[in-house]
C-alpha cells in the first residue's frame, strides 16, 4: 500500500512501508501549501526540471534529510556543485533504488535551471516510478506527447499525475487525450490553480475523464492524501 500526498503544483510525496520520496518539492512561495520544507522527511528527492515551481526547496530538503536528488545529468551536476548529494540520470534511463525503480521519460517543456549564478540548462523529464507493486507516472511539465501512447502500451500505469493548468503545460483538453493514451487506472490532475494564469476547474476535468475514458480520476487538494 502506498500513501500519496499532494502539496500543490507538481509536488507529491509517495510513501511505502519502508521509504518516502518527494517529487518537485516547491513549498516556499507555493500559495497552496501550508507545510514548510522542514516538515518533510524523505529518502530521495526527484526533480523533473529546473524551473522554480519544481526545483523549489530541493536543496534544503535533500541536505536536511541526507537524501539524494534524482534528476537529469545537468541538473544533478548543478546541484552537486552546490554540495547536494545527487544521482544523475537521463531520459530513457532507469535505475533500481532502495525505495523502488525510477525511469526518466521525455517531457516537452523548457530546460532552464533557476539558478542565481546561471543560466544552466537541461532537458525536462517525467518519471515512471515503480514502488512496491505499483507503477506511477509523474508527467512533469509537458505538452501532450505521442510518446505517452508507448508509456501506456508498455506499462500498466496505476496512477498518472498529469498537469492540466494550460498556458505552460497541457490544458484539460490535451490532458484528456493523454489519459486515453496512457490508460492509467487512476488520474490525479496537478499544476493548476497555484496561480491565476493556470486556473482550471479540476472537477470538470474529472467528469470528462470518467465519461470519456476507462480511467478513474481523483481530485485532491493540497495536503490531502490517499492510498494506492
Q: Which residues bind Ni ion (CB under 5 A)?
A: 51, 141
- What minimum distance in Å lies between the beta carbon of 141 and Ni ion? 4
Give the CA-trace dihedral at 206, 110, 131, 151, to 10 degrees.
70
Cell of 83: 554540495
141 part of the interface to Mn ion, by CB under 5 A: yes
174 part of the interface to Mn ion, by CB under 5 A: no
| 174 interacts with, out of Mn ion, Ni ion, none, CB within 5 to 8 A per kind | none
| 57 interacts with, out of Ni ion, Mn ion, none, CB within 5 to 8 A per kind | none
Alpha helices in 21-167 (DSSP H): 52-55, 58-65, 73-81, 147-154
53 part of the interface to Mn ion, by CB under 5 A: yes
- What minimum distance in Å lies between the beta carbon of 168 and Mn ion? 6
DSSP 1-62: --EEEE-STT-EEEE-SS-EEEES---TT-TT----GGG---SEEE-S-SSHHHHTTHHHHH
* Residue with Cβ nearer Ni ion (51 or 206): 51
- What minimum distance in Å lies between the beta carbon of 51 and Mn ion? 5
166 part of the interface to Mn ion, by CB under 5 A: no
43 part of the interface to Mn ion, by CB under 5 A: no
Question: Can you give the binding site for Mn ion, defined by CB under 5 A?
Answer: 53, 141
Amino acid at each position: 500500500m502506498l500513501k500519496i500526498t499532494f502539496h500543490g503544483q507538481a509536488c507529491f510525496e509517495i510513501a511505502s512501508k519502508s521509504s518516502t520520496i518527494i517529487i518537485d518539492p516547491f513549498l516556499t512561495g507555493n500559495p497552496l501549501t501550508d507545510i514548510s520544507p522542514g516538515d518533510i522527511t524523505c529518502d530521495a528527492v526527484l526533480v523533473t526540471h529546473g524551473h522554480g515551481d519544481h526545483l523549489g526547496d530541493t536543496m534544503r530538503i535533500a541536505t536536511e534529510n541526507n537524501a539524494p536528488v534524482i534528476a537529469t545529468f545537468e541538473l544533478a551536476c548543478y546541484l552537486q556543485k552546490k554540495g547536494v548529494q545527487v544521482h544523475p540520470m537521463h531520459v530513457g534511463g532507469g535505475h533500481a533504488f532502495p525505495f523502488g525503480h525510477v525511469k526518466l521519460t521525455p517531457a516537452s517543456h523548457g530546460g532552464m535551471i533557476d539558478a542565481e549564478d546561471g543560466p544552466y540548462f537541461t532537458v525536462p523529464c517525467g518519471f515512471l516510478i515503480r514502488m512496491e507493486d505499483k507503477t506511477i507516472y509523474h508527467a512533469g511539465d509537458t505538452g501532450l506527447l505521442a510518446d505517452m501512447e508507448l508509456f501506456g502500451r508498455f506499462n500498466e500505469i496505476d496512477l498518472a499525475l498529469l498537469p492540466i493548468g494550460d498556458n505552460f503545460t497541457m490544458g484539460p483538453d490535451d490532458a484528456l487525450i493523454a489519459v486515453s493514451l496512457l490508460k492509467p487506472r487512476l488520474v490525479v490532475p496537478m499544476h493548476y490553480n497555484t496561480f491565476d494564469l493556470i486556473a482550471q476547474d479540476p472537477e470538470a476535468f474529472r467528469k470528462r475523464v470518467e465519461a470519456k475514458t476507462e480511467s478513474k480520476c481523483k481530485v485532491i487538494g493540497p495536503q490531502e492524501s490517499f492510498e494506492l
